[in-house]
Amino acid sequence: MSKVAVLGYGTVGSGVVHVLSENADIISKKAGESIEVARVLDLRDFPGDPIQEKVTHDFADIENDADIDIVVETMGGTKPAYDFVKRSILAGKSVCTSNKALVADHGTELIRIAREKGVHFFFEASVGGGIPILRPLNRCIVADEILSIRGILNGTTNFILTKMADEGSDYADVLKEAQALGYAEADPSADVEGYDTCRKIAILTALAYGAQVNYEDIHTEGITDISATDIAYAKKLGYMIRLLGMSTRSDGKLYALVAPFMIPHSDPLYSVGGVFNAITLTGNMLGEVMFYGQGAGKNATASAVVTDIVEAVKNRDTAVTIRWDEEKQTISSTGSMVSRFFVRLDAGSRDAVGTVFPGAELTDGVKDDEIGFVTGEMSEKDFESALGKLNGVVKSIRCM
């Protein structure tokens, strides 16, 4: 029997306990032995909950319990999560976490320490919730050079953009609805400003290319500037606006970006609506594959955590290699990234568009005093230079 301690009995932590109990038989068959929750660490008590008899308020009770094999961290943030996780690994316990902030900030160090101690540090649920993406990236897609990663990695922003498209509503109104439904926090900045997506694409990129990526180096834009008018233009042109995290390697340089993109109908990410997430990987031999599913939620995220627990049990005496070196990768300037661009501008500038952007696809505006157009492929640096030659520019959005 393997004994597990859960740090944090919130949404995900209680979900882990529920999944281990509800699916105990199938989990024990797949793990080769039964798995029992021995301790739960939380600041609170839970009177009336059967878990109460296992609750402790002192991490040392877990750290010093030699019978506990695996620690599950679902507290969120980096303090005190980092301290508790590191101490768990140093005590010879494997750790499974859903904490993207912890993994983005300290993942490479914790992987190294776990390797030195002969235990595991697994973090499947830190990106994409219940979507299995990190293990396939690390263990299945190993014969390919990864050319690019693209992902809708945040359910809150995808819900907001989908509702804006479906109802023609403004951002502020849909944000209030998302908060009322529990899809957005009272302070939604981590989601809507793109920071959550940024951490996740940093983790994916580090695993894809085998070395540290500092999320602070990734150019990040959110969705707060996307309006109902932008959405209307996108629909008119056959696009959907999605917040994407993406990275690509080209000519020996690594690029990464988080920003709203207009996605054409032919792209598989076009149809990923609501709170769902999706990630596409492109390999030089495999081509493009997509992973799709619930990117958040109690049971979906807990399912991914429990899968990591089972992996830790099955590989107790086997090293599972995670290639993520501490050497930092350099993120190149987005100025050299190539894309297409949608531009809104005053109708009076129509005649100048063809001169500045030859071959641009013009469309009548959804507002009487505007027009819109889509450029051909060009670098961001060249686009910004050309755009400066036009008067009356209202907005520009990248296009796939």
Enumerate the active-site residues.
Answer: 200
Taken in order 120, 126, 128, 131, is the CA torsion positive or negative? positive
**How far is it, in rounded angstroms, from Cα 117 to Cα 125?**
23
Q: One-letter amino acid identity for 263? A: I
Q: Which residues sit opposite 281 in a β-bridge? A: 149, 289
**How far is it, in rounded angstroms, from Cα 100 to Cα 191?**
13
Q: One-letter amino acid identity for 307? A: T
Count of alpha carbons within 13 Å of 203, Cβ hemisphere only?
A: 29
Measuring CA to CA, which residue among 142, 139, 147, 132 is closest to residue 290?
A: 132
Count of alpha carbons within 13 Å of 149, Cβ hemisphere only?
A: 31
**How far is it, in rounded angstroms, from Cα 218 to Cα 248?**
12
- Maximum C-alpha span of the chain: 76
**How far is it, in rounded angstroms, from Cα 270 to Cα 282?**
17
- The residue whose two tokens read 């897609």 is 141
**How far is it, in rounded angstroms, from Cα 158 to Cα 243?**
7
CA distances from residue 154 to 161, 197, 208, 245 in whole angstroms, order as listed = 11, 6, 20, 9
**How far is it, in rounded angstroms, from Cα 57 to Cα 54?**
10
**How far is it, in rounded angstroms, from Cα 285 to Cα 300?**
31
- Alpha-carbon torsion angle 324, 329, 333, 339, nearest 10: -30
| 323 close to 146: Cβ distance less than 8 angstroms | no
Packing angle between helix 228-236 and helix 155-167, nearest 10 degrees? 70
For residue 332, the 8-state DSSP code is P
The enclosing H or E element of 321 equals none
